[in-house]
Amino acid sequence: MKVAITSRENSIDSIIDSRFGRCAYFAIYDTETKETEFVKNPNKEANEGAGPASVKFIASYRVEKAVSGEFGFKIKSLMNEVNIQMIVIQEEKTIKEIVDLLNK
Amino acid sequence: MNIAIASGKGGTGKTFVSTNLFKTFQSLGHSALLVDCDVECPNSLLFFDLKKLSDTIVKEYRPIIDTNKCVYCGLCYEYCEYNAIFYVPELKQIKLLDNLCHGCKACTVACKHGAIENSSTEIGQVSFFVDSEKHIFLEGRLKEGKIASIPIIKSTIKEALSLSSDFVLIDSSPGTSCPFIQTAVRSDYIVLVTEPTPFGLSDLKQAVETLDSINKNYGVIINRSGIGNIEVYDYLEKNKIPIIAEIPFSKEIARYYSEGKLAVSYLSEIKELFEEISNKIIKNGNSIS
């Protein structure tokens, strides 16, 4: 299973980005291979609709879960439609720490 | 002459100035029309005893995506500047996000498979009112839950300009973004209402920069003078921006306003002040156009 985690930078020591739609990077973690791929969020500077466009973006990676500091109201129903479970983490954890939690 | 009453900051007194100015123009014998273009929260007409004549519905274009004809090529998604098309080809998902759609029709132009049908959605209305002396009033109103105020402002001003009136007074939306610009570009003269506070000054600067960038003629009314500090005055003097008038901070004015009454009808010094303001606006507006 793949999980998208919003990240401020492109390393596993980076802190989670508290915003979903306008996060800097998505860390795409694969629970089977244990590999993490960092992809730049193309919607960070979008004029409008960064949230829905980011749902589309991570859905194209076939992720089943998304971890972020918060999710805007426009995207909650879209997440359900593409079957992505939302996980909110409000503490400033690193990507590595979140990956460890996912593996517990 | 089209006169917009605008401000950067909200709550500086646009509606107070618009309504009292309108009353003054009328009492001075001018043919004037009051138009409320603060479509997200129109309230100018509360100050008058009016009867509604008619409503004109304002609609905006909406595409309808036929998923049976759609080949999931993604071209409509690429054309959309506002991310209003939710498109996940991997899951054969495509749909319009109504709240993000600006009705620009780019998606419809993009589609080569006839999968997008034309439709429209109601976003608000322009209403015509009349008082006992047969004066017409106009109000633009955005429907609850809708976000596109610009088409309503455009329609309201279009209707206003179709009525022959010497002076069209337009109560504008606060801020300095699209709604403000839409009313400003269609006006010959803009009255910026501000207050002598840091907030008033900060937003006044943005309004001034915006109007300068579109080459508009404007003057400033300082409302609630006597509060705050002198920074607004320093800024206006330094930039050679004309002060049309200062309206004193007064509990009496506030009380009449809160009761839905026009201060010019009750306070002789305010009546005189607004007569002076009217004459200055006419003079300033004419000197350029």
Given a cut of 90, is residue B148 above it in pLDDT?
A: no
Backbone φ, ψ for residue B44 (5° rounding): -60, -35
How far out from the chain centre does Cα B60 lie? 18
How many independent structural domains does chain A possess? 1
pLDDT tens digits, B65-124: 999 999 999 999 999 999 999 999 999 999 999 989 999 999 999 999 999 999 999 999
Domain ranges, ordered by start, for chain B: 2-48+131-288, 60-122
Query: Tens digit of pLDDT per residue, chain A (104 long)?
Result: 999 999 999 999 999 999 999 999 999 999 999 999 999 999 999 988 999 999 999 999 999 999 999 998 879 899 999 999 999 999 999 999 999 999 98
Shortest Cα distance, chain B CAs vs residue A13, angstroms? 31
Length of chain A: 104
Asked: is B2-48+131-288 a CATH 3.40.50.300 domain? The reply is yes
Q: What is the pLDDT of residue B181?
A: 95
> Distance between CA atoms of B103 and B116, rounded to whole angstroms?
13
Domain with residue A92: its CATH number is 3.30.420.130
With contacts defined as CB-CB under 8 Å, which chain A residues touch B84? 48-49
- Quote the percentage of chain B above a pLDDT of 90: 93
Residue B253's pLDDT band, with cuts at 50, 70 and 90, is very high
Q: Quick check: A62 and B99 CB within 8 A?
A: no
Q: Do A52 and B93 touch (CB under 8 A)?
A: no
Q: Which of residues 76-105 of B touch A (CB under 8 A)?
A: 81-84, 86-91, 93, 97, 99-100
> Whole-angstrom Cα distance, residue B106 to residue B288?
39
pLDDT greater than 60 at residue B62: yes
| pLDDT class of B288 with cuts at 50, 70, 90 | low
CA-CA-CA-CA torsion sign (B220, B162, B148, B106): negative
CA of B189: how far to CAs of A11, A81, A100, B122, B157, in Å? Answer: 55, 51, 63, 31, 15
CATH code 3.30.70.20 for B60-122 = yes
Q: Tokens for B256, please give them.
A: 């009449």
Q: Long-range pairs for B138-143 at CB < 8 Å and ≥24 separation?
A: B138/B33, B138/B34, B138/B35, B138/B36, B138/B163, B139/B35, B139/B36, B139/B42, B139/B44, B139/B45, B140/B35, B140/B36, B140/B37, B140/B39, B140/B42, B140/B58, B141/B39, B141/B42, B142/B39, B142/B40
pTM of the model: 0.82
The band of B287, judged by pLDDT with boundaries at 50, 70 and 90, is confident
What are B23-38's pLDDT values in tens digits?
999 999 999 999 999 9
pLDDT at B284: 86
Residue B180 Cα to chain centre, angstroms:
6
The pLDDT of residue B150 is 93
Report residue A88 CA to chain centroid gap. 10
Set of chain A residues whose Cβ sits within 8 Å of the Cβ of B91: 59, 82
Chain A residues with CB inside 8 Å of B90's CB? Answer: 59-60, 62
Cα B202 versus chain centre, distance: 20
ipTM confidence score: 0.87
